[in-house]
Structure formats: C-alpha cells, structure tokens
Copies of this chain bind each other. A is one copy, B any other.
Amino acid sequence: MTDQLKLANQVCFPVYTLAKEIINQYRPILKEMDLTYPQYLVMMVLWESKEQTVSEIGEKLNLDSGTLTPLLKRLETKKLITRKRKKTDERVVAIALTPEGFEKKEMAELIPERVAESLNISMEELNELKRITEKVIKKIKS
C-alpha cells in the first residue's frame, strides 16, 4: 500500500483518539456538576437561547432523536430542563431551561478555563487545531 493510501487511516485514528481523550479531560470536571460531555453541549445550546425544539438542538449538535430523546429525559430527571409538546404543532417538543438549568450556567463558566488548563496546550496550537478541524468538517459535509 502506498503512503498516500495509508494516510486516511493514519489521520482518522488520531482524530478518533483525540476526541476520546478530550472527552476524558472534560469528564471529571463535568462530573462535579453532574453532566456528561454531550449533556453539557445540550446545556450550552440552551444557555444561548433557553427554549428550543428537539430538532433545533439536534441540528446544532449533529445528533438525532435516538440520541437526544433519552439524553433530554435524563436532563429532565435532573430538573435542568422541561419537555413540552407545542400546542401549534403537537409533533414538536419544546425543550426549555428550568431556573436550575439556567443557574447552572454560572458554575459552567468556569469549565472552559479548567479544561484549557487540563489540556495544557497553547492558544496557538488550539487555534491551529480549531482552524484545520473546522476546515475539514466543512469539506466533509459539502
């Protein structure tokens, strides 16, 4: 096999590994506020705008209802969100932050700093990683 052909594998594995590694860095920090990384992503989407439908959240995070429905039910159990079908279209479930869910935002503001610290990577490298990653995602999706 030529090096060129092997390259795909040689890139994909590190990306897969890095994603797991990053989530592992978040894990203990998020655990203190009783969230998983995907739950944290959902909460961040809601902190930006406190009422959104399931599909709006899914679109922003690239997650389908099979993933979101049980995750959202867990957030509901934790009293961080409410789930309510819309009167105007009963197929649509509106997810809204509870006061507790909204308040968690403050505590969460400390997370990026702690993660950055835990990752121990320079701004320059983080920016480089962000730039190339976003570029590749855009290409894949197009």
Contact = CB atoms under 8 A, between A and B. Distances in A.
B14 A134 contact: yes
Given A121-B136, A129-B133, A22 B16 contact: yes
A121 B15 CA distance: 15
Q: How many copies does the complex hold?
A: 2
Contacts of A127: 7, 11
Interface string A8-38: 1111111111111111011000000000010
Nearest to A63: B20
Contacts of A109: 1, 5
Interface in A107-142: 109, 111-113, 115-116, 119-121, 123, 125-130, 132-137, 139-141
A88 interface: no
A77 interface: no
27 contacts: A1-B112, A4-B116, A6-B112, A7-B123, A7-B127, A8-B112, A8-B116, A8-B119, A8-B126, A9-B115, A11-B129, A11-B133, A16-B37, A17-B62, A17-B137, A18-B19, A18-B140, A20-B62, A21-B141, A25-B140, A119-B139, A119-B140, A120-B140, A125-B139, A128-B132, A129-B132, A129-B136
